[in-house]
Amino acid sequence: MTNLSEPKLQELLRACSAGDRKAQQALYQQFAPVVYAICVRYMGATDEAKDMLQETMVKFFQKSDEFRFQGSLEGWVKRIAVNTCLDQIKRNKSKYAGSLDEAYDLAGDVNATQPLETKDLLRLVASLPDGYRAVFNMYAIEGFTHAEIGEVLGISENTSKSQLFKARKWLQAKIDRN
- 85: domain CATH number is 1.10.1740.10
This prediction's pTM: 0.68
Residues 104 and 158 placed together within one structural domain of the fold? yes
Asked if residue 57 is part of any domain, the answer here is yes
Residues 130 and 164 placed together within one structural domain of the fold? yes
* Residues 72/6, Cβ–Cβ less than 8 Å: yes
Residues 62 and 107 placed together within one structural domain of the fold? no
Asked if residue 39 is part of any domain, the answer here is yes
Residues 140 and 99 placed together within one structural domain of the fold? yes
Domain extent at residue 156: 94-176
CB atoms within 10 A of CB 46: 13
| DSSP string for residues in 16-47 | HHTT-HHHHHHHHHHHHHHHHHHHHHHH-SSH
Residues 24 and 46 placed together within one structural domain of the fold? yes
Give the count of alpha carbons within 13 A of 130, CB side only: 18
Q: What is the pLDDT of residues 22-59, one digit of tens each?
A: 999 999 999 999 999 899 888 887 788 999 999 999 99
* The pLDDT of residue 113: 40
* The pLDDT of residue 103: 32
Give the chain's residues under pLDDT 70: 1-2, 93-117, 178
Q: Which of 101, 63, 103, 94 is nearest to 80 (CA)?
A: 63
Residues 40 and 70 placed together within one structural domain of the fold? yes
CB atoms within 10 A of CB 41: 24
Asked if residue 160 is part of any domain, the answer here is yes
Query: Count of domains in the chain?
Result: 2
* Residues 24/9, Cβ–Cβ less than 8 Å: no
Asked if residue 1 is part of any domain, the answer here is no
* The pLDDT of residue 13: 87
Residues 85 and 11 placed together within one structural domain of the fold? yes
Last residue of some domain: 64, 91, 118? 91
